[in-house]
């Protein structure tokens, strides 16, 4: 049976609780590993990849399962609108989604609403545009849900759902539920969240501009490491916005993993400049099982970074910082974005050159996408530079706004060309060959990530 078959996921994510309400949580998606379309990725490759690298589902849905009182029956499904069984016996449907999935989520929500099922929407997109989302739902949860969800379920049971639910304070880290209680009931990969929030306020970032998400909070190290210890997977990802916001905390976290003798492999997000100057952090991350840091370089133009208030990146330090990370036997998944107001037509080749010079192991190239709820979206909207409100196009592969120093076509075509050059067969082979200096495991990991990313973007051009 295909891994992504919905029936299997229905079974594997079913949590047996004594029935009161039947609750169905939906993860709407069209994409599988690293965004490649299901049908574009051979089943055998998917199965191998799933054994080797993390492929976690959004943690929000698992948190809702953990927050749901035992009296209810709750399960998770995922897929396109036509994959969903709308005749399933269900009292309440919850859908969490980001902007690119909004059209899918609304289709699913509408079809359940037509059947008289109560629908609740939450996640990044509904939190940014609650008035839009409520047109497809009974209720919209804005922001974090820890203090709201049990109350919302009580209201749903009593047919007293409110239109909007918003917490009046940020979640205390002690109130973020542990996921260990549901680990035995699922066999899809799951990520770990040690911290929440980022205070840096980059103009384009949806995370830092969601309510309370500009407040950095770190969960107690012991609780996080308990979760890691009990996690059924051997590989996982830290779903934190950045594990370099508090290097002191992260070092304690990594030390605890080492002290307990946990032998799992993981990846995590971090800032290039912090990593480049904190060798103790790099050493401990390697000791704890980190295989790669996921780094948002965003741009090789300091002017472009400054234009979006990305104050944490210093371009002139990129090369030495990457070399330092490599010195500690860690590879880098590096993210680059085209389309900032500081970008001219020379940015494309400069970025390709930087990726090669720095020897970024798994480079990704995206097109700037102004997500609703961000200052970038509001600014471009106010300047009449938003070209489409078709949210399905907000997938970082289309141009949805008028760039400042080039035409939308120039931005799109040059991004595709840069990606093609970076992902030419010879460049992929070079990166994989270089990865042999790390270990066989990491070489395979680099190869798989390169393979899937090469299939992910602009593949229809």
In the complex, the residues that contact ligand SF4 under the rule CB under 6 A are: 198, 200-202, 205, 207-208, 241-242, 296, 312
At 136, list the tokens. 């497809």
- Which bin fits 143, alpha (ψ -120 to 50), beta or left (φ > 0)? left
Between 242 and 267, name the residue whose CB sits nearer to ligand SF4: 242
Distance from chain centroid for Cα 409: 27
Between 137 and 198, name the residue whose CB sits nearer to ligand SF4: 198
Give me the least distance between CB of 281 and ligand SF4, in Å please.
16
Distance CA 119, CA 133 (A): 11
Quick count: other Cβ atoms within 10 Å of Cβ 170?
A: 19
Eight-class DSSP state of 56: P
Between 73 and 313, name the residue whose CB sits nearer to ligand SF4: 313
**DSSP-derived pairing of the beta strands 265-270 and 290-298:** parallel
Radius of gyration of the chain (CA): 22
At 141, list the tokens. 């949860």
Give me the least distance between CB of 320 and ligand SF4, in Å please.
20
Between 242 and 304, name the residue whose CB sits nearer to ligand SF4: 242
Between 99 and 241, name the residue whose CB sits nearer to ligand SF4: 241
Give me the least distance between CB of 42 and ligand SF4, in Å please.
34
Distance CA 333, CA 317 (A): 17
Give me the least distance between CB of 197 and ligand SF4, in Å please.
9
Distance CA 412, CA 408 (A): 6
Between 297 and 451, name the residue whose CB sits nearer to ligand SF4: 297
Distance CA 171, CA 174 (A): 8
Between 203 and 256, name the residue whose CB sits nearer to ligand SF4: 203
Q: Do 171 and 133 meet the contact criterion of CB atoms below 8 Å apart? A: no
Give me the least distance between CB of 205 and ligand SF4, in Å please.
3
Between 79 and 276, name the residue whose CB sits nearer to ligand SF4: 276
Between 10 and 211, name the residue whose CB sits nearer to ligand SF4: 211
Give me the least distance between CB of 156 and ligand SF4, in Å please.
33
Give me the least distance between CB of 359 and ligand SF4, in Å please.
23
Distance CA 215, CA 212 (A): 6
What's the chain's length in residues? 461
Give me the least distance between CB of 199 and ligand SF4, in Å please.
7
At 130, list the tokens. 């609650």
Give me the least distance between CB of 338 and ligand SF4, in Å please.
16
Give me the least distance between CB of 144 and ligand SF4, in Å please.
16
Distance CA 109, CA 83 (A): 13
Distance CA 142, CA 210 (A): 9
Between 276 and 296, name the residue whose CB sits nearer to ligand SF4: 296
For 438, how many CA atoms within 13 A lie in the half-sphere containing its CB? 27
Quick count: other Cβ atoms within 10 Å of Cβ 76?
A: 25
Between 139 and 241, name the residue whose CB sits nearer to ligand SF4: 241
Distance CA 308, CA 24 (A): 39
Distance CA 338, CA 77 (A): 34
Distance CA 268, CA 337 (A): 19
Give me the least distance between CB of 36 and ligand SF4, in Å please.
24
Quick count: other Cβ atoms within 10 Å of Cβ 150?
A: 13
DSSP, collapsed to helix, strand or coil, labels residue 121 as: strand
């Amino acid at each position: 049976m295909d891994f992504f078959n919905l029936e299997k996921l229905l079974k594997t994510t079913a949590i047996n609780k004594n029935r009161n309400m039947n609750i169905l949580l939906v993860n709407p998606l069209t994409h599988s590993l690293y965004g490649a379309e299901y049908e574009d990725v051979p089943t055998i490759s998917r199965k191998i990849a799933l054994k080797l690298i993390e492929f976690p589902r959004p943690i929000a849905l698992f948190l809702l399962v953990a927050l749901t009182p035992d009296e209810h029956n709750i399960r998770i499904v995922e897929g396109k609108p036509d994959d969903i069984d709308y005749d399933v016996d269900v009292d309440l449907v919850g859908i969490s989604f980001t902007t690119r999935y909004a059209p899918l989520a609304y289709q699913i929500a509408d079809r359940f609403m037509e059947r008289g099922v109560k629908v609740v929407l939450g996640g990044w997109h509904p939190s940014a545009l609650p008035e839009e989302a409520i047109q497809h739902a009974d209720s919209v949860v804005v922001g974090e849900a820890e203090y709201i969800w049990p109350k919302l379920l009580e209201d749903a049971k009593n047919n007293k759902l409110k239109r909007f639910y918003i917490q009046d304070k940020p979640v205390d880290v002690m109130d973020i539920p542990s996921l260990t209680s549901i680990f035995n009931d699922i066999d899809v990969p799951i990520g770990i969240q040690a911290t929440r929030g980022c205070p840096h306020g980059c103009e384009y970032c949806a995370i830092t501009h969601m309510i309370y998400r500009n407040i950095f909070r770190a969960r107690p190290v012991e609780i996080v490491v308990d979760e890691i210890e009990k996690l059924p997977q051997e590989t996982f990802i830290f779903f934190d916005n950045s594990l370099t916001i508090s290097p002191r905390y992260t070092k304690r976290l990594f030390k605890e993993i080492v002290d307990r003798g946990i032998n799992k492999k993981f990846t995590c997000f971090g800032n290039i400049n912090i990593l480049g100057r904190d060798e103790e952090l790099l050493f401990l991350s390697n000791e704890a099982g980190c295989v790669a840091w996921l780094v948002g370089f965003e741009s090789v133009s300091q002017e472009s970074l400054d234009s979006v208030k990305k104050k944490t990146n210093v371009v002139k330090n990129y090369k030495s910082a990457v070399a330092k990370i490599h010195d500690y036997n860690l590879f880098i998944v590096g993210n680059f974005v085209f389309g900032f107001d500081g970008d001219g037509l020379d940015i494309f080749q400069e970025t390709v050159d930087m990726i090669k010079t720095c020897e970024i192991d798994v480079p990704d190239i995206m097109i700037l996408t102004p997500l609703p709820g961000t200052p970038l979206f509001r600014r471009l909207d106010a300047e009449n530079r938003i070209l489409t409100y078709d949210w399905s196009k907000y997938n970082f592969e289309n141009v949805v706004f008028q760039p400042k120093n080039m035409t939308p076509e120039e931005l799109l075509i040059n991004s595709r060309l840069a990606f093609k050059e970076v992902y030419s067969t010879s460049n992929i082979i070079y990166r994989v060959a270089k990865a042999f200096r790390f270990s066989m495991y990491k070489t395979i990991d680099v190869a798989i990530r390169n393979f899937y990313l090469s299939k992910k973007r602009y593949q229809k051009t």
